[in-house]
Amino acid sequence: MANIDISGVKKVYPGNVTAIHDLDLSIDDGELVVLVGPSGCGKSTLLRMIAGLETITEGTVAIGGDVVNRKEPAERDIAMVFQNYALYPHMSVRGNLEYGLKNRGTPRPEIDKRVTEAARILEIEPFLERKPRQLSGGQRQRVAMGRAIVRHPKAFLFDEPLSNLDAKLRGQMRIEIKRIQRSLKTTSVYVTHDQLEAMTLADRLVVMNAGRIEQVGKPVELYEKPASLFVAGFIGSPPMNIFETATLRELPGVSLPASLPQGADVIGVRPDSIVLDQPAGAAIALKGTVELIEPVGGESHVYVRLAGIEQIVILVVQGRATFGETDEVAFYLPEAALHPFDKTSGRRIE
């Protein structure tokens, strides 16, 4: 087990395409860090550089204090779980689990011990002699996990490991991965484009965009205090509502709280912090027509078209909505729930 230090790392592909710009990130021993972002943001490239499957153009990657830039993947003592599992199709499950250990010259009794142990943890003992094609998607996923576990590596690297599973199985495996990572305490880097998966798994979340880190922090921190418009829009579902202050000021009867910081030309409000009853403190009062109500079980998502401007606002209402579609509603954005941003830089203003 080890910490991972990424400093000044840059990736330039042939043809001068820069995938990663001068990136720094420290991952503590035993921590589970999730890299999240839209496709093409460089999260997979970064993971593959840690694995040694991509060369590092500039900067250094250190695992357990050791700079590994020039080392082969096998010499870095990491294990990787791939999106399509990458199980060796002609080997049995046991063969798949043993292969990495055999290549390292692990003695036979030790191999058997570790395979038994991993099979027990992942509950795949009944399938050990089967070929991968005889397994279901969820079982293959477990075998792929097992191949990582048996190695007792310094770090686990996960490259969108749950993307090929259906929604229900994905939820189960997410919990499973978290449980196993907790009990083994192995440093882990996990790449996903699914923000829900990212939020629920991460000890720390790294939001990436266009080859740069937008924000690093605990999932709750990122949710409560997004450092940029990008993070604000990416984390949370339904997404944050974004208003231009200039537009709001022009609406008749709307006044903005005096506490709003200088230069906040954009403000964001989470759908679940919008309220229907006038709150005690300062708030922005708005009116609009209900366009659509989506009941999603315990709560309802309400899409309201603002009077005067053609902007749609999303509200989360607990339980059932007390109004119907095409009704007029008034609602309030409480002062404390406002996230002020600078429009040009996209950064948060304190």
Partner 1 sequence: MQTKRTIFPNKGLPYLLLAPQLVITFVFFLWPAGQAVKSSFEREDPFGFRTTFVWFENYQRLFREPSYINSLWTSLVFSVAVTAISMGVSLLLAVAVNRLLRSGRIYTTLLVWPYAVAPVVAGILWWFMFNPTIGILPYVLDALGINWNHRVNANHAMILIVLAASWKQISYNFLFFVAGLQSVPQSLTEAAAIDGAGPFKRFWTIVFPLLSPTTFFLLIVNINYAMFDTFGIIDASTSGGPAGATNTLVYKVYADGFLGLNIGSSSAQSVVLMAIVIALTAIQFRYVERRVQY
Partner 2 sequence: MVENRPFLTLLTHLVLIIGVVVIVFPVYLAFIASTRGGGDFMSGVVPLMPGPHMIENYSRMLTAGLSTYGAPPVWQMLSNSLIMALAVSIGKIAISITSAYAIVYFKFPFRFLAFWLIFITLMLPVEVRIIPTFAVVANLGMLNSYPGLIIPLIASATATFLFRQFFLTVPDELMEAARVDGAGPMKFFRDILLPLSRTNIAALFVILFIYGWVQYLWPLLVTTDTRYYTIVMGIKRLAQVADADPLWNLVMAAVMLAMLPPVLVVIFMQRLFVKGLVETEK
Q: In the complex, which residues of this chain contact partner 1 (CB under 8 A)?
A: 48, 53-54, 72
Q: What does 310 bind: partner 1, partner 2, none (CB cut-off 5 to 8 Å by kind)?
A: none
12: contact with partner 2 by CB under 8 A:
no
CB of 114 to partner 1, least distance (A): 27
- Of 53 and 264, nearer to partner 1 (C-beta) is 53
**Angle at Cα 241 formed by Cα 235 and Cα 245, nearest 5°?**
130
Q: Which is nearer to partner 2, 153 or 288 (CB)?
A: 153
- For residues 343, 255, 222, 311, the Cα torsion angle rounded to the nearest 10 degrees is -70
Restricting to residues 53-82, which ones interact with partner 2 according to CB under 8 A?
53, 72-74, 78-80, 82
CA torsion sign, 88 to 89 to 95 to 96?
Answer: positive
Q: Which does 86 bind (CB under 5 to 8 A by kind): partner 2, partner 1, none?
A: partner 2
In the complex with partner 2, which residue's Cβ is closer, 82 or 323?
A: 82
Integer CA distances (angstroms), 77 to 145, 301, 327, in order: 16, 47, 61
3-state class percentages of the chain: helix first, strand second, coil last, to nearest 5: 30, 30, 40
Q: Under 8 Å CB-to-CB from 112, ≥6 apart: which residues?
A: none
Kindly tell me which of 57 and 116 has the beta carbon lying closer to partner 1.
57
Kindly state the smallest distance separating residue 53's Cβ from partner 1, in Å.
Answer: 5
Q: What is the SS3 assignment for 65?
A: coil
| Nearest distance from C-beta of residue 132 to partner 2, angstroms | 11
Check residue 228 and report its DSSP letter. B
15 binds, among partner 2, partner 1, none (CB under 5 to 8 A by kind): none
CB nearer to partner 1: give 48 or 147.
Answer: 48
Task: Give the contacts of 100 (CB within 8 A, at least 6 positions apart).
Answer: 79, 147, 150, 151
> Binds 54, which of partner 1, partner 2, none (CB < 5 to 8 A, cut-off by type)?
partner 1
Using the structure block, give the residue that is written with the tokens 């075998």: 143
Residue 49: CB minimum distance to partner 1, A: 11
Size of the site for partner 2 (CB under 8 A): 23
Residue with the two structure tokens 């991993």: 118
CA distance 114 to 151: 8
Q: What is the H or E stretch that residue 182 is in?
A: helix 167-184
The answer to whether 266 and 245 have CB atoms below 8 angstroms apart is yes
Which one of partner 1, partner 2, none is in contact with 30 (Cβ closer than 5 to 8 A by kind)? none
Asked if residue 19 lies in contact with residue 211, where contact means CB atoms within 8 angstroms, the answer is yes
Q: Which of 12, 62, 86, 210 binds partner 2 (CB under 8 A)?
A: 86
The residue (of 100 and 233) whose beta carbon lies closer to partner 2 is: 100
Tokens encoding 184: 């083994």
Among 21, 99, 257, 329, binds partner 2 (CB under 8 A): 99
Q: Which of the ranges 28-36, 98-106, 108-116, 196-204 carries the binding residues for partner 2, by CB under 8 A?
A: 98-106
Report the interface residues with partner 2, using CB under 8 A: 51-53, 72-74, 78-80, 82-90, 99-100, 103-104, 147
